[in-house]
Structure 1
Amino acid sequence: MKNLLFIGLITLVMLLAGCGKGADSPKGFSLPKGNEQNGELVFNKYQCLACHTLEGYNDADLGKVFADPIPLGGTSAKVKTYAQLVTSIINPSHELAPRSHALVPVVDDNGQSKMTVFNDVMTVTEMIDVVAFLQPKYKVKPIQYTNYLQYQVP
Structure 2
Amino acid sequence: MKYIKLLFIVLTGLFLVACDDGPKGSFGFTLPDGNAEYGQQYFVEFRCVDCHTVVGLEDELVAPFGIDPIMNVPLGGATHRIETYGELVTSIINPSHKVSSQYKMTPDTGDGQSVMRNYNSIMTVDELIDIVAFVQDQYTLKPYPPTTYKIY
Q: TM-score range by the shorter chain?
A: 0.7 to 0.9
**2:43 counterpart residue number:** 43
Equivalences for 1:5-154 in 2 at 5 Å? 20-54=20-54, 55-56=56-57, 57-60=60-63, 61-66=66-71, 69-96=72-99, 100=101, 102-151=103-152
Moved segments of 4+, more than 6 Å: none
Q: Is the 8 Å Cα contact of residues 106 and 115 (structure 1) preserved in structure 2? A: no
- The one-character-per-residue Cα deviations of 1:39-67 (angstroms, maximum 9, x if unpaired) are 1111111111111111223323113212x
Q: Secondary structure at 1:24's aligned position in 2?
A: coil
Following superposition, the deviation at residue 125 of structure 1 comes to 0.7
TM-score under structure 1 normalisation? Answer: 0.75
Following superposition, the deviation at residue 28 of structure 1 comes to 1.0
TM-score under structure 2 normalisation? Answer: 0.76
Relative to structure 1, the CA distance from residue 148 to residue 132 in structure 2 (aligned partners, 3 Å threshold; closer, same or farther) is same
Q: Secondary structure at 1:22's aligned position in 2?
A: coil
Following superposition, the deviation at residue 20 of structure 1 comes to 4.4
Equivalent AA in structure 1 for residue 129 of structure 2 = I
Q: Secondary structure at 2:28's aligned position in 1?
A: coil
Following superposition, the deviation at residue 133 of structure 1 comes to 1.1
**Structure 1: where are the runs of 5+ without partners?**
1-15
Percent sequence identity over aligned pairs: 42
How many residues end up aligned between the 2 structures? 132
